[in-house]
Amino acid sequence: MPVTSIGVDTVTALLATADALFVEDLDDGNPLTPAGRARGATYALRIALEVAVDAALTAEQSELHAISMRAKLLCLRHYAGPSLARRINALWSRLSEGCKYHHDELGPRHAQVQVWRGEVETLVAELAAARVVGAFPQQAGTAGD
């Protein structure tokens, strides 16, 4: 389905963007600070996770593309199961908090963003695998039971 392939390409590009933000020699005279790079990478990771969730849900129910991400995360419980949905929701919440700037708080550290990057990659793969093997209740034929 086109939505899924666009989602995969977009997720891959966003993960690459997050990685690129930690390369020391981006450009001479680059104004990004280490904290700015970490926050930018966190944004890229959150958007990658959102794209994966959106692609998975839209493939199941096209009407779901118009709802908020919080609502999509609630719907994901039905389509991907409670365990995977809970892990995705928890990571999305941590990434969202890491994206926010508060003048009296430190932003996410490089090591934390690297952990989040691995978690995003893992959860995106698990979400895609759940769809492929028919673990989504709609595909397995258990929705009408």
Binned at pLDDT 50, 70 and 90, residue 70 comes out as very high
If you average pLDDT over every residue of the chain, what do you get?
82
Q: Give the model's pLDDT for residue 141.
A: 43
CA distance 87 to 63: 24
Question: CA 57, 60, 61 angle in degrees (round to 5)?
Answer: 85
Tell me how far apart the terminal alpha carbons of the chain are, to the nearest angstrom: 26
H or E element: which one contains 48? helix 34-60
pLDDT at 2 over 60: no
102-121 pLDDT, tens digit per residue, is 767 778 898 999 999 999 99
The token duo for 88 is 């995705």
Mean pLDDT confidence for 62-75? 88
Query: What pTM does this model have?
Result: 0.81
- Among the listed residues 44, 102, 51, the one whose alpha carbon sits nearest the alpha carbon of residue 72: 51
